[in-house]
Structures are given as C-alpha cells and as structure tokens.
C-alpha cells in the first residue's frame, strides 16, 4: 500500500495561486518585521497569519495552506529569497511500489498544471526531467538544478514555470521533487511543491 501524506486538490491549489494575485511582492521580498504586533500586521496585509517564527517564518493562508518564507541568509530574517509550500506527498511502503508513486506524482502534477493554467495562464515551460528542452541554470547559485544532478536523480521529475515580468512580478515553479536517487531497496517519497522566487533570482 502506498501512503498519501499530503493531498491538496487541484482546486485548492488554484485557490492558493489566486490568493497570491493580490500580494505585494516587493514587500514580501523585502522581508517581514521582527516577531510581534508589527509581524502580525505585516502578515495580515497578505491575508496570512504567522504560525511559527523560529529561524524562518511560517504562515497560514486564508485557504488553510501553510507557507514558509526562506531568508536570503541562513539564520537571517530578511530579505526573503523564496516562499514555498507542499501540496502533495506520497510514499511507497515497499520498493515494488516505487514506480507506482512516480506515476501518481506525474498524474497529480499534470492535474495541478491544468488547474494553475486557469489562474496564471500558460506556463513558460512544463516538462519532465529528461526533456532536452529542460531549462538549464544560468549560474552556479541559481535555483534550477544542475543538469548532471537532475539527470542522475531524475529530479525534479516534473517542472512547470510561470514568469511574471517587472519589478512587481515573481516566478512560480511547480515541481515534483524526488531527492537523491535511491539505493536498491530504498523507498520513493515524491513531493509536489510550489515555490515563488523574485524576478532577479533568474
């Protein structure tokens, strides 16, 4: 039996993306104030509620999704380099189920992409880990996985990218992550995440 650990519906994903349409992205990238009333007020501007301020800020959205905001510097607080959340995760309970969970991940990702299209439009790219047209990182510190690691680990297994240009824009990335290639007998635990980056992160 496979185990579904997180299972947000495509409709819920679309709702979350729609809620982000009214976010002040420059204010998000500038980062939150220190914990306290100022932080509560800052989160309220985006319809968020802070749920944890240990090391990184985690918020709950109006749709009930938990989002984590990651700072540029480890151990820092602001500015923010990315925000992300996990919409789906399935684990194989036996190594013979590894192919099954990969198939389920690909099908769920495709349903998410279809739901996202209705909100954010056609992706600039959508494809699989072994697609010859898969985007390559322009430099070593880019968020895209280096080609050799991507091919070795088959991760991201699937990826879709939406780009909103301009100083108030952002990049939205929907990925199926697999982690490092498993050793014989190890179990696959694919995870579908949404990550938003500032435009200058390109």
pLDDT of residue 202: 52
Longest Cα–Cα distance in the chain: 51
Would you mind telling me the total number of residues written for the chain in this entry? 202
- Residue located via tokens 């088959």: 154
Domain boundaries, the chain: 15-83, 85-201
Q: Taking 80 as the threshold, does the pLDDT of residue 200 lie above it?
A: no
Average pLDDT for residues 127-141, to the nearest whole number?
94
The dihedrals phi and psi of 126, each to the nearest 5 degrees, come to -150, 125
- 148: Cα separation from own chain's centroid: 21
How does the average pLDDT of the chain come out, rounded? 93
The pTM (predicted TM-score) of the whole model is 0.94
Res. 1 pLDDT band, cuts 50 70 90: confident
pLDDT of residue 176: 98
Dist. CA 194–CA 78, nearest whole Å: 21
């Amino acid at each position: 039996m496979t185990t579904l650990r997180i299972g947000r519906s495509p409709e819920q994903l679309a709702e979350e993306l729609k809620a982000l349409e009214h976010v002040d992205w420059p204010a998000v990238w500038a980062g939150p104030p220190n914990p306290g009333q100022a932080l509560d007020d800052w989160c309220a501007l985006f319809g968020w509620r802070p749920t944890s301020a240990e090391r990184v800020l985690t918020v709950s959205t109006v749709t009930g999704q938990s989002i984590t905001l990651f700072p540029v510097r480890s151990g820092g607080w602001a500015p923010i380099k990315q925000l992300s959340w996990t919409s789906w995760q399935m684990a194989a309970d036996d190594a013979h189920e590894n192919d099954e969970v990969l198939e389920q991940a690909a099908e769920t990702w495709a349903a998410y992409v279809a739901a996202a299209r209705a909100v954010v439009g056609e992706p600039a790219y959508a494809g699989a880990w072994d697609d010859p047209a898969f985007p390559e990182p322009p430099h070593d510190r880019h968020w895209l996985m280096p080609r050799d690691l991507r091919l070795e680990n088959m991760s991201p297994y699937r990826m879709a990218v939406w780009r909103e240009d301009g100083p108030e824009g952002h990049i939205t990335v929907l990925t199926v992550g697999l982690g490092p290639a498993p050793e014989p007998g190890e179990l696959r635990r694919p995870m579908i995440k949404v990550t938003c980056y500032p435009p200058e992160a390109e």
